[in-house]
Structure 1
Amino acid sequence: MTDLTARLEACYTGVVHDVMRAMGLRDFTLPAELRPILPERPLAGPAFTIEGRADPDADGHETLLAWTGLLSKAPAGSIWVSQPNDRIVAHMGELSAETLKNKGVRGAIVDGFIRDTNFLLEMGFQTWCRGFTPRDIVGHWLPVATDVPIVIGGIDIRPGDYFLGDRDGLVRIPAEHLAEVVERAETAISTENLVRKAILAGTDPQQAYLKHGKF
């Protein structure tokens, strides 16, 4: 799937969204509140999913053991996709990002907060999140399961489903539709290039749309 990942990353979310809508797929756009720390950098790859829960009575040592165990499980080439069910502490930081990057993890999507953001920016570890906080997980949060279905913003996400993210947002591509979505998106981009060329040449936009069936 490496080639498909690279081809998907060369697309953009607007055209992938339109392709999946035309295919009859629904509920694949993640909440707009999730934003990338590196807006200029696209992110694509399969999901390594994490589900967790807040536990203010958790032992600090226990939380760190569980967290480092999570990092060990993340496979190379994947995207860390976390539903922490928590909006209090950070669920990605410097040492974790360094570990994941060194393992070959492509980036992270966290339905919550992160910290050490300047370090993540310096190392170029693309991370999507809802915001930032200096607080960490110690004595507060524990994982429940990995590689399980999770939900972010009402969107069902299965392990191995693909994501494409860019400045416009995040879309989830069901794994079984990946090849078709990529092929259709590439075709649509080629058609959009013809429309763009026509517009720049002075063609009326409606005529360009009627000729190419795309706008």
Structure 2
Amino acid sequence: MTETADRLAACYTGVVHDVMRAMGLKDFTLPAELRPILPEKRIAGPAFTIEGMTDASAAAHDTLLAWTGLLSKAPRGSIWVCQPNDRIVAHMGELSAETLKNKGVRGCIVDGYIRDVDFLLEIGFQAWSRGFTPRDIVSWWLPKATEVPITIGDVEIRSGDYMVADRDGAIRVPAAIVEAVIEKAEVAIGTENLVRKAILEGVDPQEAYLRYGKF
């Protein structure tokens, strides 16, 4: 798992996208509104999926008990991928990020808001979100299920599917084809290096494209 994640992390999202498009796949790019707090830090790894729900009648103790239990379930080497079904409160913060980082979780992708961003930056915990708010989950939000299929935008993500995310965006790679995607991406990167070298040597861009079949 670690070797696969590291190899995928070495493949930027642009080339992974092009490979998957060429394979005939669709609906694998997460919404562009999801942005990272550490744009220079690429992450990749298997998804630990979370589906949530709001409950305005939930007791503070129950929401915090459920949240801490949720943190305990995240496996080492995974990426926390959450569909909170909420755009009001934050679904990641300092103590949670510290917990996950110490467990070996590679980062998080939340289709909603996060908070304590200065602290997350300080500890280097990569977090993708739609924005920030100081409001927390207490007496408002509960996890509904973990390791179930979730949908972010038009992308269905199953627990164990691989995520790769960088400054350009985030992509889901189905677990069943991740090795094939990585192999094709590594070849494509090699070809792009040849095209880049040709361009820098003054080769006409169309000639470079026709020579290598890529641009």
Q: TM-score range by the shorter chain?
A: over 0.9
CA distance in 2, matches of 1:53, 1:32: 23
Which residues in structure 2 correspond to 1:144-155 (within 5 Å)? 144-155=144-155
Identity %, equivalent residues: 75
Supply the distance in 2 between the matched residues of 1:133 and 1:37 (Cα, whole angstroms).
14
SS at match of 2:176: helix
Aligned to 2:131: 131
| Aligned-partner Cα distance in 2 for 1:142–1:204 | 57
TM-superposed CA distance for 1:4, in Å, is: 1.3
CA distance in 2 between counterparts of 1:206 and 1:155 reads 34
> How far is the alpha carbon of 1:159 from its aligned partner?
0.5
**Deviation digits for residues 156-214 of structure 1 (CA, Å, limit 9, x no counterpart):** 11000001000000010000010000000000000000000000000000000000000
Post-superposition shift, 1:154?
1.7
Which residue of 2 is the match for residue 104 of structure 1?
A: 104
Normalising by structure 2, we get a TM-score of: 0.99
Q: 2:208 matched to which residue of 1? A: 208
Q: What is the letter of the counterpart of residue 176 of structure 1?
A: A
1:189 is aligned to 2:189: yes
RMSD: 0.4
Could you tell me which runs of 5 or more consecutive residues in structure 2 were left unpaired when the two chains were aligned: none
Q: Secondary structure at the match of 1:19?
A: helix
Tell me, in whole angstroms, the C-alpha distance in 1 between the residues paired with 2:192 and 2:155: 28
Shift of 1:90: 0.2
Q: For 1:31 and 1:107, locate their aligned partners in 2 and report how far apart those are by CA, in whole Å.
A: 18
Matched, 1:29 2:17: no
CA distance in structure 1 between the aligned counterparts of 2:147 and 2:199, rounded to whole angstroms: 46
Q: Give the secondary structure class of the aligned counterpart of 1:82.
A: strand
Residue 35 (structure 2) pairs with residue 58 (structure 1): no
Structure 1 length-normalised TM: 0.99
Corresponding residue for 1:38?
A: 38
Number of residue pairs matched by the alignment: 215
Q: Distance in 2 between matches of 1:123 and 1:2?
A: 21
